[in-house]
Amino acid sequence: MKKILPAAALIFAISACQQPVVAAASVVAAPQAARVAEEGSGLQTAIFAGGCFWTVEAVFSHVEGVQSAVSGYHGGTKRQASYNLVSSGITDHVEAVKVVYDPKVIRYDQLLRVFFSVIADPTLKDRQGPDRGPHYNAELVPLTAEQRRVATAYLAQMKRSGKWDAPIVTPVAAAKTFYPAEATHQDFALRNPRHPYVVRWDVPKLAALKRLYPGVYRSEFKPG
C-alpha cells in the first residue's frame, strides 16, 4: 500500500531543493567589476545566498583560491536552523554558503562575477532555478566594510550594464548569524554526484564556470 505523506511532510518534500524540473537555468557573462576589492593579505570570508545551497557550494568549491565553502542557514534563530524547518519556508533563514577565500588568488569582486554569471539570477526574488520560497532568495552578505563597498558598487554597475532584461533585485543584506547545515548537506555534490538535482542543476553550472572562467576553474572539488 502506498504511504500517504502527512501535510507537513508533503510541503517539505515539494519545497526542498531536490525537485529537478525541465526549465533551463540562465547563464549570463556578468561584467568585470570596475571596483576592484582591496583586501590585503590573509584569508577572507563572505556569505552568499543564491537558492539551493547545494549549488552555491558546488560552484564555489570548484573556484581557485576558495579554501572552504560551508552550507548553512543565514538569519533566523538557532532553534529553527534545521533543513526541515527552513525548507518549509516558515523560518526567517535563507539557505546560504559561507565562503573562505584567499584574495591573493581570487578577489571578492571576482567571486561576485562568478556568482552572478553562473550561480544566481539577480532578477529573481524568493526563487532560483526550480526552487521557490523566501528561503531561496539571492542575497549578498558582506562581512567587511570593503566587501560591502564592492558589492554595492558591483550591483550598481550590473544595473547599468544592460545585460539583464529585468530589474536587478538582489540586495546587499546585513550580516546575521550563520548556522552551518547538517553534515548530510556538506559537500553534497561531491558525495552525491548522481543525485537528480546535482545532475540537472549543478553539473551544467560547473560546465558554465569552466567555459566562462577557465582561469579560475578548479577541476577538483575543495571539501568544506
Beta carbons of 83 and 16 less than 8 angstroms apart:
yes
Please report whether residue 10 resides in a domain. no
28: left (phi over 0), alpha (psi -120 to 50) or beta: beta
Which grid coordinates belong to 197? 538535482
Please report whether residue 182 resides in a domain. yes
What CATH number does residue 169 fall under?
Answer: 3.30.1060.10
Residue 16: predicted pLDDT: 61
Q: How far apart are the first and last CA of the chain?
A: 41
Segments forming the whole domain that contains residue 85: 36-212
For the annotated catalytic residues, the residue numbers are 52
Please, which residues have CB within 8 angstroms of residue 22's CB and are 6 or more apart in sequence? none
Per DSSP, helices labelled H in the chain are: 7-15, 53-60, 83-88, 108-114, 145-161, 188-191, 196-197, 203-212
Find, among 99, 53, 61, 57, the residue nearest to 220 by Cα: 61
Please report whether residue 28 resides in a domain. no
Please report whether residue 41 resides in a domain. yes
Distance (Å, rounded) from C-alpha 27 to C-alpha 163? 11
DSSP string, 161-217: H---SSPP---BPPP--EEEPPGGGTTHHHH-TT-HHIIIIIHHHHHHHHHH-TTTB
Residue 15: predicted pLDDT: 45
Please report whether residue 223 resides in a domain. no
Residue 23: predicted pLDDT: 42
Distance (Å, rounded) from C-alpha 177 to C-alpha 183? 18
Please report whether residue 140 resides in a domain. yes
**Domain count for the chain:** 1
Residue 2: predicted pLDDT: 29
Q: Which residues pair with 179 in a beta bridge?
A: 73
Find the helix packing angle between 203-212 and 53-60, rounded to 10°: 30
Residue 146: predicted pLDDT: 98
**In order along the chain (224 residues), what is the average pLDDT of each group of 10 residues?**
34 49 67 97 97 98 98 97 96 98 98 98 96 97 98 98 96 98 98 97 97 97 93
Residue 1: predicted pLDDT: 31
Which residue type sits at 122?
Answer: P
Residue 26: predicted pLDDT: 73
Residue 186: predicted pLDDT: 98
Half-sphere exposure of 60 (CA within 13 A, CB side): 39
Please report whether residue 123 resides in a domain. yes
Please report whether residue 85 resides in a domain. yes
Find, among 146, 158, 173, 66, the residue nearest to 117 by Cα: 158
Beta carbons of 67 and 42 less than 8 angstroms apart:
no
